[in-house]
Structure 1
Amino acid sequence: MKASTFLAPLLLTTGVYSWGPMGHATVAYIAQHYLDGAARILTSHLLSGASLPDIASWADSYRYTDGGAFSQVFHYIDAHDQVPHKCNIKMERDCPPEGCIVTAIANYTERILNDDLSFSERADALKFVIHFIGDVQQPLHTENLAVGGNEITVFWGNESVKTNLHAAWDRNIPETLAGGSTIATSASFANSIIQDLETGIYSNLKKDWTSCGSIKRGIGCPKAWAQDANKIVCSDVLPNGVEEVQNKDISGAYYERNKMIARQQIAKGGYRLGLWLNKIAKAEQLKCRA
C-alpha cells in the first residue's frame, strides 16, 4: 500500500483509517482488559492518564500532519506476492529502507524503553505501537496488490455506496458486524470478543496467537503477525482474484463469508497488544532494577 502524494488526499476524503476509529478502539479495549498491573501503570504514565482507546487512532491523524508525514509508510507492508495463488512476506523484497509496519513495531517497542529519549518521544512510541499492532492484523495492510485494495472499486449495499475493498475491510465489514461506528459501539463489541477469548470460540486459539511474544526478537514477532494476516488475502479476502469483487456489491455473500474473519483479526490484535504491553512493562521493571 504505497504512500504517495496522490493517495494521501484520497485517504482523507474517503476516511480510510485502517480498522477505522471503531475497530482500533475495539482492539484497544480488548488489550486494556489484558493489561497486568505494571502495564496499566506504565501506559497510564506515558499517556498522561489517557486510556488505550482514547489514543488508538492517534497515529492515523498524526500521519497527515507536516510533522507526521514520515510515518505514512509505517502503517503497512507491501507484499509483492502472487494473489490469490501465493501470499507471503519477504522483508528484503517488501519492506523498503525507510521502513514498514514490521520494522516500525520493533523500533517503537525499543523506543518505549529508551531512557535517552524524552517523555513525549516515549509516549509517541507507545501510541504508535498501540496503533500498529492493530493495523498489522488487517490483511490488506500486508498486501501490495492494487495499493492494498484501495484501487479495487466495490459497492456496499445494492451499489448504493461506492467504496473500495480496503475501506470495506477497514470499516464496512467490522462496523456492520459490530452494529455501529461509535466508540460506545467499540466497547460493547470488545466485550463480546473478550467473552469469546475467555470461554468462547477463541479460548483454545489465543495461546497460538501469542506463541511469538518475545519483544527481544526484534522484527521476529511483528513479521510473524504480518505473515499471518497476509495469508488471509489469498484464503479469504481475494481467494478467486480481483474479478470476484471488482465493481460488485460485497455486502451480501462476501460479507457473510468474511465477517468472522475480520472479527477474529480484531480479537488477535487486542489480545496480542495486551500481552505485548505486559512484556514491555516487565522489561521496564527489570531495567529499573538493574
Structure 2
Amino acid sequence: MTMIRRFGLLLAALAVVLPGPARAFWEYGHETVAAIALADVRPTTRLAIRRLLRAAPLLETPTCPARTLAEASVWPDCVKTLGPRFSYAASWHYQDVDICKPFALKPACRDGNCVSAQITRNLALLKDRAVPVRERLMALIFVVHFVGDLHQPLHAGEHDDAGGNRVRAGYGIAAGRINLHMVWDGYLAERAISTPPAGAAGLLAAATPAERAAMAAGSVEDWSRENWEVARDAVYAPVIADPCGAEPARVQLDEARIRAAIPVLRAQVLRGGLRLARLLDEALG
C-alpha cells in the first residue's frame, strides 16, 4: 500500500470526527481514473506520459511527488497544503452549476475559473510542443486531476450549498461531522470502486468495447451537462424530497441508498478514465 493510499484511508477515518471539506474524490477515485486512462491510451501516448513525468523534479514540490500518473492524479490536491504558492488554482476543481435552474455553464465559469474551462485550457498547453516541459507537465497533471474532478457529481452541480459541503449527512452507521460532499468524494467512492469486479481492471472488464467507445464520446461541455444531471438525479433527489427548497438539517444514506448509488459512481469513474484516455491520445498520441 502506497503512502498516498495510507494517507487517503487516514483522511477517511478522520473525516468522521474532524470538520472541514473533503479533498476532491480523495486518492482512490483519482488514482483509479488515472489507472483506467493509462490502461486505455495508445502505447505512444503512454510513452509520452512517462517522458513528461520524468521532469517531475522541475515542479520543486518534494512533499507532493508526481513521478507516476497515480501520484500526478492527486498532486493538485496535495499542493493545496503548500500555502499561497498554488492558491490561484483553488477554483479550478469545480463548477457551481445550479441543479434547480436550466443548465448554464458560462455563469459558473467566469474568466475560465472552473473545472471544465481548465480542462480545455490545460489540454491546449499539453498539445503545444513549444511550451516548456515544466508547464506541459503541469498541464498534464491538471488535465488528469480535473477530468476526475468533473466526474465527481458534486463538482459539476449543486444548489447553493458549496457542492454539498453544507449538507450534513449520515453514511450507513457512520455519523459525526460528515457532509454530502464527503460521502460522494470518499466513502461512497471507496465502496463503489472496491465492489467486485474491483479497481481499474474490474471497471474496464465490466464494459464492452462498444460501451467504452460510447462513454468516451462527447465534448467537455457534454460531460459537464451529464455530470450536472447526475448530481441532480442521483445525488440530491434520492435523499432530499425537495432539493430546490429549504436546505435540510441532515440527510441519511442508508444501506439501500448506498447500494443504489454504487453503480452510478462506478460508471462515473469509468467514464472519467475513458474520457481522460481519449483526451491524452488527442494531445500526445
Q: TM-score, normalised by structure 2?
A: 0.80
| Aligned counterpart, 1:223 | 221
Q: In structure 2, what is the equivalent of residue 3 of structure 1? A: none
Which amino acid is 2:53 matched to?
L
Match of 1:37 in 2: 43
Describe the superposition over 1:90-121 as per-residue Cα deviations: whole angstroms up to 9, x where unpaired: 23322122521111001000111233432111
When residues 160 and 34 of structure 1 are mapped into structure 2, their CA distance, relative to the original with a 3 A threshold, is same
Paired position in structure 2 for 1:257: 260
Residue 40 of structure 1: CA displacement?
0.9
State the partner residue of 1:279: 282
Cα distance in 2 for residues equivalent to 1:245 and 1:253: 20
- Per the alignment, do residues 159 and 38 of structure 1 end up closer, same or farther by CA in structure 2, a change over 3 Å counting? closer
2:185 aligned with 1:167: no
Judge which range, 138-147 or 48-57, deviates more: 48-57
Q: Bigger CA drift: 14-23 or 124-133?
A: 14-23
Post-superposition offset of 1:62: 2.0
1:1-290 correspondence runs (5 A):
14=20, 16-48=22-54, 50-65=67-82, 66-82=84-100, 88=103, 90-145=104-159, 146-158=161-173, 160-179=175-194, 188-197=198-207, 199=208, 203-212=209-218, 221-239=219-237, 240-242=241-243, 246-282=249-285
2:99–2:232 Cα contact (<8 Å) kept: no
Instruction: Report the alpha carbon displacement of residue 19 of structure 1 after superposing the two structures with TM.
Output: 1.2
The AA in structure 1 aligned to 2:183 is: A
The structural deviation recorded for 1:224 is 1.3
| Inter-partner Cα distance in structure 2 for 1:244 and 1:15 | 18
- TM-superposition CA deviations, 1:57-94 (whole Å, max 9, x none): 01111234322101111111110341xxx562x23322
Closer, same or farther: CA 274–159 of 1 in aligned 2, 3 Å: closer
- Choose 168-177 or 48-57, whichever is displaced more: 48-57
SS in 1 for 2:165: coil
Alpha-carbon separation, structure 2, partners of 1:175 and 1:155: 16
Name the SS of the counterpart of 1:249 in structure 2: strand
- Measure, in 1, the Cα distance between the counterparts of 2:281 and 2:175: 44
CA distance 1:268–1:47, shift in 2 (3 Å): same
Higher mean C-alpha displacement, 187-196 vs 116-125? 187-196
CA distance in 2, matches of 1:31, 1:61: 21
Q: TM-score, normalised by structure 1?
A: 0.79
Structure 2 stretches lacking a partner, 5+ long: 1-14, 56-66
> Is the alpha carbon distance of 1:70 and 1:36 closer, same or farther for their aligned partners in structure 2, counting shifts above 3 Å?
same
Contact 2:26 2:186 in 1 (8 A): yes
- The percentage of counterpart residues that share the same residue type is 23
Match of 1:149, SS state, is coil
Gap change, CA 1:245 and 1:79, over 3 Å in 2: same
SS in 2 for 1:97: helix
Partner of 2:98: helix, strand, or coil? coil
Could you tell me which runs of 5 or more consecutive residues in structure 1 were left unpaired when the two chains were aligned: 1-9, 213-220, 283-290
The separation in 1 between residues aligned to 2:247 and 2:261, in whole angstroms, is 14
RMSD of aligned Cα (Å): 2.6
Partners of 2:78 and 2:227 in 1: how far apart? 24
For 2:35, give the aligned amino acid: Y
Return the offset for 1:245: 7.2
* More off after superposition, 145-154 vs 171-180: 171-180
Q: Look up the equivalent residue of 1:281 and give its one-letter code.
A: L
**Cα contact 1:210–1:272 (8 A) shared by 2:** yes
Out of 259-268 and 40-49, give the one that drifted further. Answer: 40-49
Paired letter, 1:76: Y
CA deviation map 1:241-279 (0-9, x unaligned)? 347975233142221121110110000001111121111
Alpha-carbon distance in 1 for matches of 2:194, 2:269 = 15
> Size of the alignment, in residue pairs?
251
